[in-house]
Structure formats: structure tokens, C-alpha cells
Structure 1
């Protein structure tokens, strides 16, 4: 993956030049690529994911699908602005940091969605942003599998093993929960939504990641099932 930047007006785009350039190396992307209205006009919206960010599924041509995720705030601050952030420099924007981190993890052969492009549009002292990744075919959230009693012991232990791989690589996933762990049709486990995540040295953050996941499991299954799921995941993590 070869990352390049493109500036157009107030927008700056970080993109995969290997997949988004034509034969003359001209980027086939622009600010409109990150606007739902543009995709709606092309008839390219195929669905929407649950959650605060309202991610859209897009038809990218040749049978491929992308996921467009605008950055959205939660909590009390969202009452002031749910999609704008304080500008502290382009490389410190949430979109650019997540794009670069995802590309780094992909290069390490870790199961993350392939990043396509990130867009940042500056408005003086604030900015708004969005990220596009390749959609994982047939993927379902671990949360959905738990709710439907479809997560067997083998799968749960594989979830634990995958989390361990990310931890061994130094990834602190600050929002590790059952919605950000996906399972595709082949049973492969993926980790998504790397916003605000970072690579770190060994420390207590690993335990905090697992505790956050444990709390999440309790929201999608009954108490006994949540305890069992936690035990299986921890076993896979420890083996």
C-alpha cells in the first residue's frame, strides 16, 4: 500500500495511491467521494451500519464494497457539535491517524479492514473528517452472534487469540467491544474502528482493554452466557 496526499480547496485526502490512481497516476478521488449526497445521486449506497456514526455501505464497482464512516462525537460535547474537532495539525487529525495506523497493522498481516482513503476538511480552528475502508464480505459483529446464541466456544477462543495478536503488536484499542469484533463467512475474526487507538509499549492498558470487552459482552448476552464467553475469550488469549 502506497499512501499519498491530495489537497483540494479546504480538504486534504490521504489515500491508497496503488488502488485509487489511473494509468497516469492521477488520483481518482476527491472531496465529493466522502459525501453521502454524492453517493446517493450515483445510486451507490447499498446499506447502513448501526451506531452513532451512521456508517454507509457503498458500491465501489467491480463487485467491491466500501464503508464510509464520518467521525462523530458522543456524550455531552456532541450537543455543541457532533462532527467537528479542534484543529491541532493535519497529521494529528483523527482520520489521518486512523488511516496510517490501519495501514501499519495491515502491513503487519493483522486482520483489519483495508483502508482506502481519509478526508479532512478544515474550517479555521476546527475540522470535520471521514474515513473509507473496504467492507469485509459477509462479516457480522460478535455482538449479533452473541445475541443470537451463535458464538460457540471455538469462535470465542479465536476471538481471544486475535486480541492477543493485536496486543502483542502493541495495539491499545480504546473501544474494544463486541461490535468492533467482526466474524466473516469463513469464521475469520477481524478488528475494526481504530479511532483514537495507538501502538504502545506493554502496560496496564491490555487489562483495561479486556475489562472493557467483558463489560460489553454483558450487554449482548445473559449473565451466565457473558461469564462463559469471557472465560472462553480469556482462554484463547492466554493459550
Structure 2
């Protein structure tokens, strides 16, 4: 029951911001699930919650087909790469870079509007910003996908920073895009894990059940938040993720 409730909370947070794994992953460890099995089962369980969040934000996805297809390919490549890195590399490999990435993401979310104006002005002088964003958005989304496939906590913070600066659009539409990209990463990583790793299906099922409910709740909450408040929520979750990982 507690694992399912953790899934509800994670699904809600993932839809609005990301970092829901900071709730479910420690919960699984507290129940005695081995770390690698917990990480893998958590990823598999949260996929349906990601899908629920995408459905909840479907109105904001209207008109974003080309953007999703282009950036989704980056997430696909990154997610597969990150999943295999989790299986092949020692956990210490990302211990330094992960906190640094989250800290950078928080800073970029906070200063994003100012940087975006500068990026837009510079791009306008060169003919405008493409619908999928400036040139560095694709590789940045791919790198976020590598991180997401490897662990995933605060993947949404990084994606919101990338989209908020490099893609000219509103923050609610960026949230919808972020949900799709996170779904792609988690889904392809889950397929890799199911094929070659041990999944605790009881744990994954409980998290899936809870996160589906949470995904719908998160869509309702996130859509009501004004841009400034939503940005503050994203930054706060990012800071909590940073502190938790450093601790």
C-alpha cells in the first residue's frame, strides 16, 4: 500500500516537474529492495504514470507534432544509451556529474526567460528560431535522455531548462513536451531492463497503479499554476533533488 501511495506522489510530481523517483526509489530501499533492482523496477513502474501525464496534458500538445518527433528521436537515443550504462557501469561513474547537472538545471530554470530572450533575439537576426528550437536543443535533449535512462531523478528539471531556453513557446506547452520526452526515455529504458535485467513485478505493478492516478492529478495541478509559480516549483524540486543526492 505504501509503495502504491509513493507511486501516486511520484506520478503527480513527474507530470508537473519530474523527480518523482526521489520518492519511490528511497521507499523501495526502505522495504529492502536491492538498489539496482529498485532502480530498474521503479523505472518500469513509472512508465504508465508518464503516459498518464502525457494524456493529462494532451491539449497543450496540439500543434507540436513535428517538434515531438524531432526531439523524441534524441530522447530515444539517449534513453537507450543511459539504460545500458546503468547495466554496464559502476554506480560511482555518475556520482560527480549528476549533482552538477541538477544544479545547472535549477539555475537555468530560474534565469531561463532572460536567456531565452537573448537567444531569440540572436536567432531572429539569423532568420528566426525553428519550431524545434536552436541547434543545441537536440543534443542537449539527448544528453538529458542518457541521464534519464541511467537514473532519472530531476530529468524533468533538465528538460524544462533546455526547452525553456532553446525553444520559443509557453511554459505549459514546454511541460507537455517534457512529459512526452520523459515518457520516451523511461519507456525505452524499461524495454531494455525487461529484456536483460531482473524486474520485481510486484513492486513495478504497485508503482504503476499509483503513478497512473498521480499523473492525472499532476496534470490538473500543473495546468493551474501561473508561469512564475510553476518555475519556482520546478526550481524547488530541483534543489530538493540536489540535496537528496548529495546526502
Q: TM-score, normalised by structure 1?
A: 0.27
Structure richer in helix, relative to its length = 2
Computing the radius of gyration from Cα coordinates, the structure with the larger value is 1
Q: TM-score, normalised by structure 2?
A: 0.26
Structure richer in strand, relative to its length = 1
Greater RCO, CA 8 A, separation 6+ = 2
